Amino acid sequence: MSWTEERVELLKKMWNEGQSASQIAKELGGVTRNAVIGKVHRLGLSNRGAATPAGNPAPKSEEKPAKPAEAPRPEAQPAPEPQPEPAEPAEPAMAEAPAAEMDEPATAPARKTIVPAGQPLPPQPSANEISPEALAKVSEVEKKARKLTLMELTERTCKWPVGDPATEDFWFCGLPVQPGKPYCEAHVGVAFQPMSSRRDRRR
């Protein structure tokens, strides 16, 4: 494979979108993440987002230059979602091991709830007594989600479903999973409850 203009453009686009080199490499195909990084450097766009092409008095601190507004107001609207029904809350918190491996692509908590696709969002973590923080983190992370389809999921992509499976507006988080877990950090936070207020199971 060679760096055609199209490929370079896609590279630039994705790089500036904040995609990682490996993700870009996968997307392009035929190249490794090293190739991507190498190209990125040769193109001279190593510091993405921080558009400092022409001799600009580079900012001394580098943090999140490409993030204009994002003030996590803990009291602004951590409001998750109104639960339509008591439904199924989170995931099996079990002990520690949620029966990890299943070669099935469908390892997600996808509920086949027959909800009248109107506006309720059943598969969400439904606000329980989970840390409002964790919930806020989830809604925040969903913006950065890779929005993968079922087939795009791998052993290392977060399998948290977002949206209504009955509509087109459905996808999987897809962010890097927490090693050993089926979800990314944010979703692990809501999926595995600290096992409190969970004793309704009086077997």
- For residues 176 and 158, is the Cβ–Cβ distance under 8 A? yes
Least separation in angstroms between residue 9's CB and DNA is: 13
Taking the least distance from each CB to DNA, the nearer of 65 and 84 is: 65
Least separation in angstroms between residue 8's CB and DNA is: 8
- In Å, what is the CA distance from 87 to each residue of 31, 35, 112, 121? 45, 48, 11, 11
Max CA distance (Å), the chain? 69
Least separation in angstroms between residue 93's CB and DNA is: 23
Least separation in angstroms between residue 174's CB and DNA is: 12
Taking the least distance from each CB to DNA, the nearer of 115 and 141 is: 141
Contacts with DNA, residue ranges (CB under 7 A) = 1-3, 19-23, 31-35, 37-42, 46-47, 156, 176, 179
Taking the least distance from each CB to DNA, the nearer of 115 and 160 is: 160
Least separation in angstroms between residue 203's CB and DNA is: 36
Q: What 3 state SS string does the chain have?
A: CCCCHHHHHHHHHHHHHCCCHHHHHHHHCCCCHHHHHHHHHHCCCCCCCCCCCCCCCCCCCCCCCCCCCCCCCCCCCCCCCCCCCCCCCCCCCCCCCCCCCCCCCCCCCCCCCCCCCCCCCCCCCCCCCCCHHHHHHHHHHCCCCCCECHHHCCCCECCCEEECCCCCCEEECCCECCCCCCCCHHHHHHHCCCCCCCCCCCC
Taking the least distance from each CB to DNA, the nearer of 120 and 176 is: 176
Taking the least distance from each CB to DNA, the nearer of 3 and 170 is: 3
Taking the least distance from each CB to DNA, the nearer of 45 and 138 is: 45
Least separation in angstroms between residue 43's CB and DNA is: 8
